[in-house]
Structure 1
Amino acid sequence: TTGLTPSPTPKSKLREGSFSSPSPAQVKVSKKHSLKLQKQSYKVEKKKAENEFQTTVNDTSVILLSDWLKVRSTLKNWSRMWCVLKPGVLIIFKNSKEKTWVGTVVLASSEIIERPSKKDGFCFKIYNALNQTIWTLKGPKGENVGVLSSSLPTSYLIFRAQSESDGRCWMDALELSRKCTNLLKKSTNMPSKTQDESYIDLVDLQQKLSLLGHNQQSIMQENNIECVSENQNSNTQTIEDSSAVDSLDSYQDIEIENKEIKATKYIAELGEEFGETGENSQTEVLAAESKNLVWALLKQLRPGMDLSKVVLPTFILEPRSFLDKLSDYYYHADLLSACENEKNPYMRMKLITKWYLSGFYKKPKGLKKPYNPILGETFRCMWDHPETNSSTYFLAEQVSHHPPVSAFVVVNRKDGFVVDGTILAKSKFYGNSISAVLEGTAKVTLLKHGEEYCFTMPYAHCKGIIYGKMTMEFGGKVHIHCEKTGYSSELDFKLKPLFGGGKLNEVSGRILIGKRALATLSGFWDEEVFLTDLNGGTVSRFWSPTKEVRQSRLKRYIVPLDDQGDFESENLWKKVSYAIENQDQIKATEEKFILEQAQRKRAKERTDCNDQWLAKYFDFNDKTNNWVYKHIDARPWDELNDIVQYEMDGNITTKTKHQTSPVRAGS
C-alpha cells in the first residue's frame, strides 16, 4: 500500500438498461407537450362527433319515421306538427316541408311511456326523469330559437297519434332510436344510396323490436347498431277495458314526489304444519267421545241436505279460516312468474297446469276442516320471490254469508300475473259421506301476454262417517282453458274405488290445442305425475312434491297479530284457535258460539234498519256474476315508470315515477 486513500469510483450517469432521470425543466416541457396533444385530439374527436350528429340530423336518407302528430303546449292546447325521427333525436317542424324548425328532442337522456287520455287516438309522453331539459340548443341548420319552443314544456312533451296502432308504432321506433347511437352506417361512410334503399322498413323494425328482450345483441349486430344501454324492454300487450277511462280525470303531468312509502308491515311465518305423506294423513279413526258427537249431529241431518247452516263440532276444525286455506295454492307462485318470459303458449299452459297441481299436497294433521268465514272477514299475506326481486300479494274477503261466498285476488305485476276468483262453498250430506263442493271459477291473467286462464276446482269428499275408516280425498273433473291461445288442460281427480283396491289421490288428464290432445298426464298428485308427449312418445316426470320441492317453497309473510283489524282472520278467530291448539274443545265451542251469535245479531240489525251490507275490498259485477277487487291494476309492468309494488290497508298498488291510471282486467 502507498498510504494514499483511493478515490471513490464515480457513479455512472446511466444505470444499466435505463436512462438518467430527466430534469424538472424537461418534465415540465414534456407535460406541456402531452397536454397540447390531448387538447388537439379532444378537439378533433369533438368536431368529429358534432359532424356525425349534424350529418345524421341533416341527411334525408337516415330517417326512422316521419308523420304528423299532435303536440300539447304548456297551455294544454294541441298543435299538429310534422315529426321526423332519426337515431337519437326527434326533430319537430311546423309543416311537412321541414323548413320551419320548432325544436329537436334528445332521446338518449329521455324516457318514453304511454299516457292515458280521454281524447280520441293514442297518447304517449317523452320526458326527462330528472326534470332537465329535453331540447337541443340549436336546430338542424344552426337555428337558435324554434318557432314555437317558447310555448312547449322544457322537460317533457305529450304527443297524440291518430290511432293506437300508429301510437304504438311511434313508441317502438322511439325506443329503438333512444337506445341506439348509430343506426345503419352514416351516409358519410357509405357509398351513396337512393332514399328507398337507405330508408328503414318500419314494419321490419316492429318485428325486431318485439324480440329485443330476447336477443337484442344479434339484432343490433345485424343492423350495425351500437347500443347505448343494456336494459331490455320487450313489447307488452295492454289489457284494454273501457272502465279504465272513468278515472282518467285524476291524471297529472307531474312526477310523483319522492315520499316515503307507507306500506303494511309483514313478518315471516314461523313455521308450516304438514301432515304425513301418503294415505295416513287422509284417514282417521275417531275416538269414542268424538264418535258420539258425530252421531248426535247426524240425527239432525237428511241425505242431500246442505250443511252450510249446520254448526259443526270443533274437534273436526283446522285452526285457521277457509280464507287462509285458499292461499295454499301460491307457495309455488314462481311457476306463474316463469310464464312472463316464456314465449311458447304450449309451455305456458304446462307451467299453469303444474302450478295448479302444486296447491294440493299441503295437508293438515288428521281430517280437519277450516273455519267457515264470518261475513266481512278478511285475510292477507304475501310471498317474496328472491329470483325476481318481487312480491306476490294475497287478499281474500267473505263477501256473502248465505250463500257462503269468498272473493280473493293475488297480484304480482312485476312478474306479470294476477289471479282472482269467486268461490261458493257448498257441503252436502249423503249418509255415510259428506262432499264439499267449491262452485264458481277463478282465472290467472298473464299481463304481458294478455291471456286469461280460467279454471275450476275439484270437490272434497269425506266418507266413512258412520261405518268404516274416515277418509278424505279430492274428486271430479276440472278444466283450465285459455280462450286466446286455444290451449287447455283437463284433469280428472279420481276417488279411491270402494272395492278392488287402488290408491288415494290418483289424477289423470290431457293438455290440448283445440280438440287435439298434445300430451297426457297420469299419476298421484301427492307423489308423482308423469307427462306423455303424444307427438314423440316420450315420458317425463311432470310434477312431484319431493323434499327439494318442499324446501324451495316461497316464504310466506303475514301481518303481525297486533296490527290486524278486528275482522282479519287470525285476530277474529284467535280465541277459538288457542282453545283448539290446547285441546280445550269446550272453550273452543263457547268462543265459536260467541262469534256466530254476534254475526246473527249484526244481520238482524241490518234487517231491522233496512241497511244493505257492503263488501270492503270487492265490488259485485252483475254481468259476470263475480266479485271484482276494487283496486285491481292489470297494467303490464313498466320498467320505465313502475318502481315497486306494495300493499297498504288492503290496497295493492304500485309506486310509480309518474301518476298513471289502473287498467281493470275483464272480469
Structure 2
Amino acid sequence: MATEGNKERKVILTKPLSLNDEDEAHDNGGRYSAPNLLQRIFTLFSHVRPGSDLSNFQLPATFNLPKSQLQGYGESIYGTKVDLIRRCNKGESPLERFISVLSWTISTIRPCPFGVAPYNPILGETHHVSHSSLNVLLEQVSHHPPVSALHATDEKENVEIIWCLRPLPKFHGTLVEVHVLGKRTMKLMNHGETYEMNCPNFIFRFLPVPGTEWVGNVRIRCKETGLLADLCYKGRSFLGFKGNRRSIKGNILDSSSSHVLYDVEGHWDRTVVIKDKNNGCVRVIYDAKEVISDLQTPTVNLENVWGTESASVWSDVSEALMRKDWDKANEAKRSIENTQRKLFKERESKGQIWRPQHFTTSHTEEGSLDCSPLHKWVPPAPIITDL
C-alpha cells in the first residue's frame, strides 16, 4: 500500500478473465455475484424499455466484477501465455503475418461470467501494464458517450496497437446486446503493414437460457497487401441448444482478385483451423487453452502507480466485492460516482473543458470519436504480468 499525500492508496488486482473463469464462477457459487442473481436482474431491468440505450446506466455494485472495463480491454491485449504479437512480426511472408494477426485477433475475445459486468470507467481513469516487452496504456477519454482509448507498443518487435472503443449496450427485453464501436489497428512497422479489424457484439441473455456470448461479423484487412479475412462468430440458438456456440467460420482472401486462399473454422474457446483451398491441407492456427487459460494476477510496484489507475480508483469497491460485503461495495461505488458528478458540475460552472492526458480526440466524418496517442512509445508500467 502506497501513500498519496496523507491518504493511503490501495491497488486491488485480480486475474485476467480466461478459459477457467466460468468453471471457477460455478464452483465458487458465482464468485462475486450476490444471491438470487436472476431475480435481481429482472428487478433491475423491470422499468427499462426495450430498445433503450444503456451506455450511462449505473449498475449496483452487486452486479460488478472487481475490475474496470479499461482493465477488461487491456487484458484482451496483455492477458496471454504466448507471445502472439511476436509471431505476427516474425512471419516470413505477408500471408503468414496476416494469419498470425488473425490468430491474435481471435485471442482478444474472452469468456465472461453471466450476471456480472466490469465498472464503467470514470473520466480520466487509466490502466497501465507491461507484459514482457509490450507496454499497454488505456485512458477513458470521454464519459458522454463513454469512449476508451488504448495504445500498446513493443519497441523490441517494433509493433504498435491503437484502439478507440465505444460500447453501445441496448436492452431488448430478453437480452442486452453490446455493440463495440470504434477502430482497432495493429501496425507491424518493420514490414510497413497496417491491419484494421472490428469486434463482434457481446450478448448478455436472460431468457430462455441465461448466458453470455459473442456474435456477429468481424473483418480483418491489411491495406498494404490487400489480404482480407471475413469471420462470423456464432452463439446458441434462441431456445438454448448448443448448436454452433462459440464457433467461428469464415475465409481469407486476396481482395484484389476475390480469390479465396483459406477457409477458417473452429471455436474461439477451443481451436481454430485453416484449410488451404489449393491443396486441402489443414492446420491449427489458434489454441485457446494454450493462449488464454490459467492466467495469473499481475504484480505491482505500488510506489509508481498513478492515482488514476483503475485498480486504485476502484480499490475500495473491489475489496468489498471480494469479501462479498455488498453494502460496503455499493457505498464505495456511490462515493466514486457522486465525486464524478461534483467534478463535472464544477467544470461546467467554470466553463472548463476536460482534456485527456495521453491521447488527442477528434470527430470523424461519420460523427464517431477517433483517438490518437500523444507519444510514440508507451513507457514501462508499474503493473507487470509475465508470460
Which category of TM-score, normalised to the shorter sequence, fits these structures?
A: 0.7 to 0.9
Q: Which amino acid aligns with 1:497?
A: S
Tell me by how many angstroms 1:341 deviates: 3.4
Question: CA separation in 1, counterparts of 2:204 and 2:14?
Answer: 30
Question: CA separation in 1, counterparts of 2:336 and 2:107?
Answer: 33
Residue aligned with 2:88, SS: coil
1:281 and 1:367 in contact (8 A); partners too:
no
Residue 474 (structure 1) aligned with residue 217 (structure 2): no
* Pick aligned residue for 2:101 from 345, 349, 352: 352
* Pick aligned residue for 2:234 from 494, 500, 508: 494
User: Match of 2:135?
Assistant: 393
C-alpha spacing 1:427/1:647, structure 2 compared with 1 (3 Å): same
* Pick aligned residue for 1:372 from 120, 137, 141: 120
Tell me by how many angstroms 1:334 deviates: 2.2
User: Match of 1:530?
Assistant: 273
In the TM superposition, 1:388-427 aligns within 5 A as 391-427=133-169
Question: CA separation in 2, counterparts of 1:355 and 1:626?
Answer: 23
Tell me by how many angstroms 1:501 deviates: 4.6
Residue 567 (structure 1) aligned with residue 300 (structure 2): no
Tell me by how many angstroms 1:366 deviates: 4.7
C-alpha spacing 1:622/1:293, structure 2 compared with 1 (3 Å): closer
Deviations 1:318-344 (A, max 9, x none): 111111111223334722222333231
C-alpha spacing 1:558/1:609, structure 2 compared with 1 (3 Å): farther
2:129 and 2:381 in contact (8 A); partners too:
no
2:208 and 2:238 in contact (8 A); partners too:
no
Question: CA separation in 2, counterparts of 1:277 and 1:556?
Answer: 13
User: Match of 1:462?
Assistant: 204
Residue aligned with 2:339, SS: helix
Q: Which amino acid aligns with 1:409?
A: H
1:475 and 1:494 in contact (8 A); partners too:
yes
Q: CA RMSD in A?
A: 3.0
In the TM superposition, 1:465-614 aligns within 5 A as 467-499=207-239, 501-514=242-255, 515-546=258-289, 548-550=290-292, 559-614=300-355
C-alpha spacing 1:336/1:275, structure 2 compared with 1 (3 Å): closer
Residue aligned with 1:647, SS: coil
2:14 and 2:298 in contact (8 A); partners too:
no
Residue 448 (structure 1) aligned with residue 190 (structure 2): yes
* Pick aligned residue for 2:374 from 606, 612, 630: 630
Q: Which amino acid aligns with 2:249?
A: S
State the TM-score, normalizing by the size of structure 1.
Answer: 0.50
Residue aligned with 1:526, SS: coil
In the TM superposition, 1:45-194 aligns within 5 A as none
Question: CA separation in 1, counterparts of 2:17 and 2:170?
Answer: 28
Question: CA separation in 2, counterparts of 1:572 and 1:287?
Answer: 22
State the TM-score, normalizing by the size of structure 2.
Answer: 0.85
Residue aligned with 1:520, SS: strand
Question: CA separation in 1, counterparts of 2:347 and 2:112?
Answer: 37
C-alpha spacing 1:556/1:359, structure 2 compared with 1 (3 Å): farther
User: Match of 2:86?
Assistant: 337
Q: Mind listing any 5+ residue stretches in structure 1 that lack a counterpart?
A: 1-266, 385-390, 634-644, 651-667
Q: Which amino acid aligns with 1:528?
A: T
Q: Which amino acid aligns with 1:542?
A: I
Question: CA separation in 1, counterparts of 2:112 and 2:364?
Answer: 38
Tell me by how many angstroms 1:457 deviates: 0.6
Q: Which amino acid aligns with 1:544?
A: D
Residue aligned with 1:472, SS: strand
Question: CA separation in 1, counterparts of 2:351 and 2:184?
Answer: 32
Q: Which amino acid aligns with 1:520?
A: D
Deviations 1:492-512 (A, max 9, x none): 111211246514211111111
Please say which structure displays the higher CA radius of gyration: 1
Tell me by how many angstroms 1:274 deviates: 4.2
Question: CA separation in 2, counterparts of 1:425 and 1:270?
Answer: 23
2:236 and 2:243 in contact (8 A); partners too:
yes
Question: CA separation in 2, counterparts of 1:649 and 1:559?
Answer: 6
C-alpha spacing 1:355/1:556, structure 2 compared with 1 (3 Å): farther
1:493 and 1:506 in contact (8 A); partners too:
yes
Tell me by how many angstroms 1:270 deviates: 8.2
Tell me by how many angstroms 1:545 deviates: 1.9
C-alpha spacing 1:607/1:278, structure 2 compared with 1 (3 Å): closer
Q: Mind listing any 5+ residue stretches in structure 2 that lack a counterpart?
A: 1-10
1:418 and 1:444 in contact (8 A); partners too:
yes
Question: CA separation in 1, counterparts of 2:163 and 2:242?
Answer: 37
Residue aligned with 1:315, SS: helix
Residue 312 (structure 1) aligned with residue 59 (structure 2): yes
Tell me by how many angstroms 1:542 deviates: 2.3
Tell me by how many angstroms 1:470 deviates: 1.4
Higher-RCO chain (CA-CA 8 Å, sequence separation at least 6): 2
User: Match of 1:80?
Assistant: none
1:340 and 1:415 in contact (8 A); partners too:
yes
Question: CA separation in 2, counterparts of 1:270 and 1:402?
Answer: 28
Question: CA separation in 2, counterparts of 1:483 and 1:369?
Answer: 35
1:275 and 1:281 in contact (8 A); partners too:
no
Percentage of matched positions with identical amino acids: 28
Question: CA separation in 2, counterparts of 1:552 and 1:313?
Answer: 29
Residue aligned with 1:337, SS: helix
Deviations 1:243-267 (A, max 9, x none): xxxxxxxxxxxxxxxxxxxxxxxx9
Q: Which amino acid aligns with 1:342?
A: G
